[in-house]
């Protein structure tokens, strides 16, 4: 069993290049089955979530081949509609995007319910189903879906519709876009998610010949269109959360990092929170430099859908706040249970209290101490790494498969910036819990 071994205390210095956005790639790869042809997609991160999606695409008959470190060629000419079994769909959350894309292409989808990080009693897909049903798909009632752990969606023909979402959901917005692009007529998604990956998917779909307008605003308009085609060249946007993770790591270690291949406008809320703490952030065209000059101070962070502070950054930011003397507050507004990592940080002597499930108070300023911890989920794992980099002594992080789902070459990238981190093999019963 592999774990990360980190010796803390080094300031991160130098330059880190950010990879392509996981959450954009996991929507764009399923979109390829909406048309027949050969796609060439660049800036695709080599992470385990992408490897699973490639396996899924192959199950449907697509040919997938890496033709460069980050360039993937996908040939969907022979794609057929098949059932997506739980052995594959359980391996990542985004497998549910195949419900939208299969429905859009074949008017029929049979997909086992998805896996992924758990941030609550369950991660519902009721809003996805609301969108499909509005487009005219028939889906068995929720109790049957739960019983069989399979979603079957079918339609004679999808028809454009007005869809209003009561909450902002990235997944429901994306899934509905995937289904609606080939529907007959115009679809409006109101109260749509505005995340950069929603916009990236819209740009990709438009390159396929779709007519999607308004992505990045609260209303997305999709004029259905049957004649979609493959895309000879597309580059996925840089990963906003990977960039933010390294920015926060720079501040937490009181280092000086330049993070390249970023889209600064996607990072505004993260930059603001870093500046609220007193970190220095210089913004360039496609890079940012983060460093510290004076003592950092506590602050309040409140997660919100984009353009607010991303929930996927709050655990990493919590570690930074552990290093800032005084009381900071984190308010989690997106997921009901996203503070599981506190238990791990407490093992490292972090002082954190949780007056209610959605709020954490971080009593920062006392030194973190190396310990055996685990990555509860993808971003919590990134937080454990940052904590290990800041801590006195040695930290061993287990369950690193969560981290490898979403961070390309994290060990190599950090080592090149002065971090003492390595991946080591441990016997199954040793270390952590």
Query: Which residues contact ligand UD1 (rule: CB under 6 A)?
Result: 23, 26, 93-94, 120, 123-128, 167, 169-172, 193, 311-312, 334-335
Q: Which is closer to ligand UD1, CB of 94 or CB of 299?
A: 94
Tell me how far apart the terminal alpha carbons of the chain are, to the nearest angstrom.
12
Q: Which is closer to ligand UD1, CB of 59 or CB of 358?
A: 358
Question: In this structure, what token pair is assigned to residue 199?
Answer: 């916009």
Question: In this structure, what token pair is assigned to residue 336?
Answer: 């009901």
Q: Which is closer to ligand UD1, CB of 5 or CB of 33?
A: 33
**Of 244, 272, 241, whose CA–CA distance to 257 is shortest?**
244
Phi and psi angles of residue 254, each rounded to the nearest 5 degrees, phi first: 55, 40
Least distance CB 368 / ligand UD1 (angstroms): 25
Least distance CB 43 / ligand UD1 (angstroms): 17
Least distance CB 193 / ligand UD1 (angstroms): 6
* Catalytic annotation present for 117: yes
Looking from the CA of 22 toward its CB, the CA atoms found within 13 Å total 22
- Chain-centroid distance, C-alpha 226: 30
Catalytic residue among 64, 117, 299, 417: 117
Question: In this structure, what token pair is assigned to residue 60?
Answer: 């449907």
In sign, the C-alpha dihedral spanning 426, 404, 76, 99 is positive
Residue nearest to ligand UD1 (CB): 171
Residue 425, SS3 per DSSP = strand
Residues whose CB is less than 8 angstroms from the CB of residue 338 and which lie 6 or more positions away in sequence, other chains included: 119, 303, 311, 314, 315, 332
Q: Which is closer to ligand UD1, CB of 93 or CB of 266?
A: 93
Q: Which is closer to ligand UD1, CB of 29 or CB of 172?
A: 172
Dmax over CA atoms of the chain, in Å, equals 64
Least distance CB 216 / ligand UD1 (angstroms): 15
Least distance CB 119 / ligand UD1 (angstroms): 7
**Of 75, 153, 164, whose CA–CA distance to 113 is shortest?**
153
**Of 222, 152, 218, whose CA–CA distance to 185 is shortest?**
222
Query: Within 10 Å of residue 341's Cβ, how many Cβ atoms?
Result: 28
Least distance CB 312 / ligand UD1 (angstroms): 5
Residues whose CB is less than 8 angstroms from the CB of residue 29 and which lie 6 or more positions away in sequence, other chains included: 41, 44, 50, 53, 54, 57, 72, 74
Q: Which is closer to ligand UD1, CB of 243 or CB of 417?
A: 243
Cis amide prior to 340 (ω within 30 degrees): no
**Angle between the 170-180 and 22-31 helix axes, to the nearest 10 degrees?**
20
Q: Which is closer to ligand UD1, CB of 315 or CB of 395?
A: 315
Strand ranges for 250-304 from DSSP E? 256-260, 280-283, 287-291, 300-302
Least distance CB 168 / ligand UD1 (angstroms): 6
Instruction: Return d(Cα 131, Cα 275) in angstroms, integer.
Output: 39
Contact 182, 224 (CB under 8 A): yes
Least distance CB 123 / ligand UD1 (angstroms): 6
Least distance CB 126 / ligand UD1 (angstroms): 5
Contact 25, 55 (CB under 8 A): no
Residues whose CB is less than 8 angstroms from the CB of residue 75 and which lie 6 or more positions away in sequence, other chains included: 37, 38, 39, 62, 63, 64
Name the pairing type of β-strands 150-154 and 162-164.
unpaired
Q: Which is closer to ligand UD1, CB of 121 or CB of 429?
A: 121
Q: Which is closer to ligand UD1, CB of 12 or CB of 215?
A: 215
| Residues marked as catalytic | 117
């Amino acid at each position: 069993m592999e774990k990360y071994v980190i010796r803390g205390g080094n300031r991160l210095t130098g330059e880190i290049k950010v990879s392509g956005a996981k959450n954009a790639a996991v929507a764009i790869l399923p979109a390829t089955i909406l048309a027949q042809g050969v796609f060439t997609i660049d800036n695709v991160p080599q992470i385990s979530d992408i490897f699973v999606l490639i396996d899924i695409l192959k199950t449907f008959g697509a040919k997938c081949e890496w033709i460069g470190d980050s360039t993937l060629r996908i040939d969907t000419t022979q794609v057929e509609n098949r059932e997506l079994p739980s052995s594959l769909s359980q391996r990542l959350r985004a497998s549910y995007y195949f419900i939208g894309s299969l429905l859009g292409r074949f008017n029929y989808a049979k997909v086992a319910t998805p896996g992924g990080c758990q941030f609550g009693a369950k991660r519902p897909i009721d809003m996805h189903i609301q969108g499909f049903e509005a487009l005219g798909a028939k889906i068995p009632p929720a109790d049957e879906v739960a019983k069989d752990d399979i979603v079957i969606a079918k339609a004679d023909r999808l028809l454009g519709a007005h869809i209003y979402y009561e909450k902002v959901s990235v997944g429901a917005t994306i899934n509905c876009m995937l289904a609606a692009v080939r529907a007959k007529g115009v679809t409006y998604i109101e109260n749509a998610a505005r995340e950069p990956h929603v916009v990236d998917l819209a740009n990709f779909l438009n390159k396929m010949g779709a007519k999607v307008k308004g992505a990045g605003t609260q209303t997305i308009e999709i004029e259905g269109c049957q004649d979609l085609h493959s895309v000879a060249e597309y580059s996925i946007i840089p990963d906003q959360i990977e960039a933010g993770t390294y920015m926060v790591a720079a501040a937490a270690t009181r280092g000086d990092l330049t993070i390249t291949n970023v889209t600064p406008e996607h990072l505004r809320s993260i930059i603001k929170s870093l500046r609220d703490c007193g970190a220095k952030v210089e913004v360039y065209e496609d890079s940012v430099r983060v460093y510290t000059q004076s003592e950092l101070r506590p602050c309040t962070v409140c997660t919100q859908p984009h353009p607010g502070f991303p929930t996927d950054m709050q655990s990493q930011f919590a570690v930074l706040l552990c290093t800032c003397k005084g009381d900071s507050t984190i308010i989690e507004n997106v997921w009901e249970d996203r503070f599981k990592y506190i238990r791990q940080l407490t093992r490292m002597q972090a002082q954190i209290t949780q007056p209610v499930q959605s709020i954490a108070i971080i009593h920062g300023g006392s030194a973190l101490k190396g310990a055996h911890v685990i990555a509860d989920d993808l971003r919590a794992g990134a937080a454990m790494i940052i904590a290990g980099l800041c801590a006195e002594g040695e930290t061993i992080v287990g369950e690193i498969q969560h981290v490898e789902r979403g961070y390309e070459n994290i060990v190599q990238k950090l080592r090149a910036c002065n971090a003492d981190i390595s991946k080591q093999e441990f016997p199954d019963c040793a270390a952590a819990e």
